[in-house]
């Protein structure tokens, strides 16, 4: 049984933020498998498992906040007696350009508090992770990871999540090294700018005053409290 953990923050206010792209990748794979909506809560996580495409998979979304992710991961690993070679953690990474994928077989947390918590709880850095690039911040790091994607990124997010789900499947079938050879060079196609809303138009980016026009009116973009 392969154990795949996607990192994120619980709560609707965080659902579409950059920090939750690990959750979104897990959801994409669950959709493919026909498991959407079947997750059940246990071990401080939403967990769904089954057989898909010849693979035995357990998909996990910790329901702790990001900086306590390790508490949930330790419980899930212990329940399944899973060797760490069968664990993959999927997380965001603002050190990578938006749309890049990067497998690693181990290593430090790189400043990511979710990975830091997992390393602390497991007592080791020796587990595989798939980092998904969310782009370098042009503001504070916490504000950046808790912000939503801009329209140009949103237009390509579906392709990115599809590629991330492909990468997770490749890891489960072939291992980290072979999956890295295939996906660490992945590049998103450029966005079709003719399909993007301009600033000030419906669903366009917010202006300098932080106000965005939506289909139901004007909205000031405000970030929730930091849970990084």
Helix ranges, the chain (H): 21-33, 69-80, 113-122, 141-145, 151-174, 176-183
State the 10-residue block means of pLDDT for the chain, 228 residues long. Answer: 97 94 96 91 95 96 96 95 95 95 94 96 97 88 91 92 96 97 90 64 64 61 43
Q: Is residue 33 part of a domain?
A: yes
pLDDT digit string (tens) for 132-157?
999 988 778 889 999 999 988 998 99
**pLDDT score at 148:** 93
Q: Which domain holds residue 13?
A: 2-191
**pLDDT score at 222:** 45
How many CB atoms lie under 10 A from the CB of residue 119?
A: 21
Q: Is residue 204 part of a domain?
A: no
Q: Is residue 18 part of a domain?
A: yes
- 3-class DSSP state for residue 219? strand
Q: Which residues are catalytic?
A: 19
Domain count, the chain: 1
Q: Is residue 208 part of a domain?
A: no
Q: Is residue 226 part of a domain?
A: no
**pLDDT score at 140:** 83
User: Which CATH number fits the domain that encloses residue 11?
Assistant: 3.40.50.1470
pTM, two decimal places: 0.84
Q: How far apart are CA 66 and CA 30, in angstroms?
A: 21
Q: Is residue 153 part of a domain?
A: yes
């Amino acid at each position: 049984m392969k154990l795949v953990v996607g990192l994120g923050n619980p709560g609707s206010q965080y659902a579409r933020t950059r920090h939750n792209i690990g959750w979104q990748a897990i959801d994409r794979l669950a959709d493919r498998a026909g498991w959407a909506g079947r997750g059940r809560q246990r071990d401080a996580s939403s967990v769904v498992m089954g057989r898909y495409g010849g693979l035995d998979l357990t998909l996990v979304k910790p329901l702790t906040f990001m900086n306590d992710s390790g508490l949930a991961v330790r419980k899930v690993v212990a329940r399944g007696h899973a060797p760490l070679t069968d664990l993959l953690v999927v997380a965001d990474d603002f050190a990578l350009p938006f749309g890049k994928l990067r497998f690693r077989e181990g290593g430090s947390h790189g400043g990511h508090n979710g990975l830091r918590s997992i390393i602390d709880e497991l007592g080791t850095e020796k587990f595989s992770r798939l980092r998904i690039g969310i782009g370098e911040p042009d503001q504070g790091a916490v504000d950046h990871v808790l912000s939503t994607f801009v329209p140009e990124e949103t237009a390509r997010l579906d392709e990115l999540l599809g590629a991330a789900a492909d990468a997770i499947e490749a890891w489960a079938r072939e291992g980290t090294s072979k999956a890295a050879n295939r996906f660490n060079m992945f590049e998103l196609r450029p966005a079709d700018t003719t399909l993007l809303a301009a600033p000030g138009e419906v669903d366009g980016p917010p202006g300098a005053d932080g106000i965005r026009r939506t289909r139901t009116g004007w909205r000031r973009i405000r970030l929730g409290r930091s849970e990084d």
